[in-house]
Amino acid sequence: MNIKSISIKNFRNFSDFSIDFSKGFQTIIGENNIGKSNLYWAIRLILDRDLSYNARNLDIKDFHGFKKEVTIDDHVIISIELYSENLASFPTFHSFKTSDTTARITYLFAHKSKFIEDDDVPEKIELSQFKWQLFGSGNSLEIEDILTLHSIRFSDLDGINLYYINAFRNINSDLHGSTKSLLSKYCQSRTDTETELESVKTILKKSSTELNNLDFIPDIAENIQQKGQSIAGQYFSFPISISFLSNYDIDAWSQLNLYFSPEEGNNVPIQTLGLGQKNILYLSLFIAELENSSNKHEINILLIEEPEAHLHPQLQKILFSNLNDLKTTQVFMTSHSTHIASDCDYKNLNILFRNVNKEVKSFSPFKDGLLSPRENLLLKRYLDATRSEMFFASAIIYVEGVGEQFIIPSIAKEVFKINLTEHNISVIPIHSRYFDPYLKIVQNNNLEIPAVAIIDGDEDELEDEEESTTAIENAKTLEVVDRVLVSSGTKTLEIDLFPKAEINSSYLKGCFENLGHKKSYENLISATKDNPELWETELIKRIDNTVIKGRFAQELSLLIDKDFIVPAYINTAISHIAKCKNISI
């Protein structure tokens, strides 16, 4: 069984939010303060049996819109739909079934008069008059329909095991040292734990006997006890002993400690390890115990916040891969890591974003029907650690290659006074002219954020009577009014930036000279002075073969200032993004 979908109304930064999940491991990504932790808290309000009754009561700040006071009609709805092809094998879930394969649990927080028919409504509405309740079954998310459903109790949730690992866990204390430590719980979860416990106890008893045979140990215990009597008096003091073992069997496991062992016989305290290594150890123990404890007719759900903390990229990917292989547990993982996002199982990548109306929505870039199988494969291979940045952006400028990637941010900053990074606007090179898969991502009902595709015009490639290339025509069919724009140039980037020897000439000269090709620039000017029709050919020949495009673009990005003459199509593109983002230029 797994969580199939979650719907949320009026909770924190979620106004009217829904997210669908596929089976298995789920990665949830998005920019900071988008609501990833809020989504986890919403899940916990329903499924976490360790939360107290009072912990499920909301504060006024938990209502959407940062309310200062509540009204009789204010309410919060959180609904989780569960799915299993073998739902009949989960007998405790029958009270909230909605079909042979689905079940639903809904949390409602509302004024108490909503729950009790004909209940008097007080003149002054206060938060203390609100209450929460869980309801089972039903498919409607309207409060009137939810109130007609039967309520459910915590006992109805038996068989649903929710575990939460936050980003600020105390790894040192959680690893070992108590009966509730991860090491102790893992030892208790092992198949032969009873036999193994007896072996540990035998050794500890023997060690305790040998310890107490030392002459000074009884003396230490007696001195401590005497000091206690002198402080608290005879009546309030109590007898003590020194040992490795109590009379409670479970305590034996807490005597075991984990050590870093760089070589045999050399045990170094775990505290000396880096945070990344301790994170791996923590998750390894947690998941090992969870897998050992799993029962056939139960559902295990694990919520992990930012497991990539303190891990370098390669280790992030290894961790991700291993979490992805869990069979008995549905794992949800929030992340800010582009490395994890780019390596995610494409079916299970979920993006939280704000649309142009500032509403938080969700989107899966590989949902069924969005892209063709070939486009899915193309996009998955493309999403390396750099390009997956688009899924954390609030607006996207798609470009063809590395030249635009260097130059567009410089033009935006120096000419338009827009720091794209500060506004979370990403320039994404796709390294081709095939923009279709990327523009499909930002269509309505998908990743609804502002976007523009900057495309070379390549007019030299046009056949007779053709007005634009096939790449431009196809891309323009995917424009979205007031949000997604395709802006095409005349020829190529370099020619459009320097269409004539007189336009932006000082910048062009500076690039050649700074890159050590002063003579090449002089030859360019000499060869075209009396033959201006050769300008484009001679320019591109030198940029491509002598200076090299990437180095040229990088150097030009350093030279651009407020006086740089910007081609019309780049001007249009940046102006479009600025307008969508309400940035003054």
Q: Is residue 556 part of a domain?
A: yes
pLDDT at residue number 521: 96
Q: Is residue 469 part of a domain?
A: yes
pLDDT at residue number 275: 74
Question: Is residue 526 domain-shared with residue 380, that is, in the same domain?
Answer: yes
- Which residues pair with residue 76 across a beta bridge? 109
- pTM: predicted TM-score of the whole model, two decimal places: 0.85
pLDDT at residue number 102: 93
Q: Is residue 357 part of a domain?
A: no
Question: Is residue 437 domain-shared with residue 536, that is, in the same domain?
Answer: yes
CB 137 within 8 A of CB 151: no
Domain that holds residue 231: 177-256
Question: Is residue 426 domain-shared with residue 558, that is, in the same domain?
Answer: yes
CB 36 within 8 A of CB 43: no
Distance between CA atoms of residues 428 and 390, nearest Å: 7
Residue 375 phi, psi dihedral angles, 5° rounding: -65, -35
Q: What residue spans of 1-84 are helical by DSSP H?
A: 36-47
Question: Is residue 16 domain-shared with residue 118, that is, in the same domain?
Answer: yes
Q: What is the per-residue pLDDT across 419-440, written as a single tens digit (0 to 9) for each?
A: 999 999 999 999 999 999 999 9
User: Quick one: tokens of 389?
Assistant: 């940045």
Domain finish residue from 115, 138, 170 = 170
Nearest CA-CA partner of 454 in 437, 466, 471: 471
How far does the chain reach from its first CA to its final CA, in angstroms? Answer: 52
Residues of the chain with pLDDT under 50: none
Question: Is residue 79 domain-shared with residue 155, that is, in the same domain?
Answer: yes
Distance between CA atoms of residues 215 and 206, nearest Å: 17
CB-based contacts of 248, cutoff 8 Å, min separation 6: none
CB 280 within 8 A of CB 311: yes
The domain that contains 138 carries what CATH number?
Answer: 3.40.50
Helix (H, G, I), strand (E, B) or coil at 205: helix
Question: Is residue 195 domain-shared with residue 165, that is, in the same domain?
Answer: no
Radius of gyration for the alpha carbons in the chain, expressed in angstroms and rounded? 32
User: Quick one: tokens of 569?
Assistant: 């199509």
pLDDT at residue number 241: 80
Question: Is residue 158 domain-shared with residue 195, that is, in the same domain?
Answer: no
Q: Within a 10 A sphere around the Cβ of 229, how many other Cβ atoms?
A: 13
User: Quick one: tokens of 358?
Assistant: 């500032």
Question: Is residue 163 domain-shared with residue 191, that is, in the same domain?
Answer: no
Helix (H, G, I), strand (E, B) or coil at 259: strand
Q: Is residue 151 part of a domain?
A: yes
Q: Is residue 53 part of a domain?
A: yes
Distance between CA atoms of residues 134 and 125, nearest Å: 22
Write out the DSSP string of 329-341.
Answer: EEEEEEE--HHHH
Nearest-5° Cα angle at 315, 311 to 321: 125
pLDDT at residue number 181: 81
- Which residues pair with residue 454 across a beta bridge? 487
Nearest CA-CA partner of 303 in 10, 1, 38, 22: 38
Residue 277 phi, psi dihedral angles, 5° rounding: -65, -40
User: Quick one: tokens of 482?
Assistant: 């007031």
Q: Is residue 410 part of a domain?
A: yes
Handedness of CA 4, 9, 11, 13 (dihedral sign): positive
Domain finish residue from 214, 237, 256 = 256
Helix (H, G, I), strand (E, B) or coil at 265: coil
Domain finish residue from 170, 197, 231 = 170
Question: Is residue 149 domain-shared with residue 223, that is, in the same domain?
Answer: no
CB 45 within 8 A of CB 51: yes
Tokens 């909230």, residue located: 96
Question: Is residue 504 domain-shared with residue 418, that is, in the same domain?
Answer: yes
Question: Is residue 83 domain-shared with residue 106, that is, in the same domain?
Answer: yes
Cα–Cα distance list, 360 to 9, 15, 285, 353, 356 (Å): 11, 7, 35, 6, 10
Q: Is residue 247 part of a domain?
A: yes
Q: Is residue 292 part of a domain?
A: no
Strands 349-354 and 360-363: what pairing?
antiparallel
Overall domain count for the chain: 3
Distance between CA atoms of residues 345 and 347, nearest Å: 6
Nearest CA-CA partner of 41 in 80, 84, 92, 1: 80
Distance between CA atoms of residues 340 and 290, nearest Å: 23
Question: Is residue 10 domain-shared with residue 144, that is, in the same domain?
Answer: yes
Nearest CA-CA partner of 525 in 546, 507, 505: 505
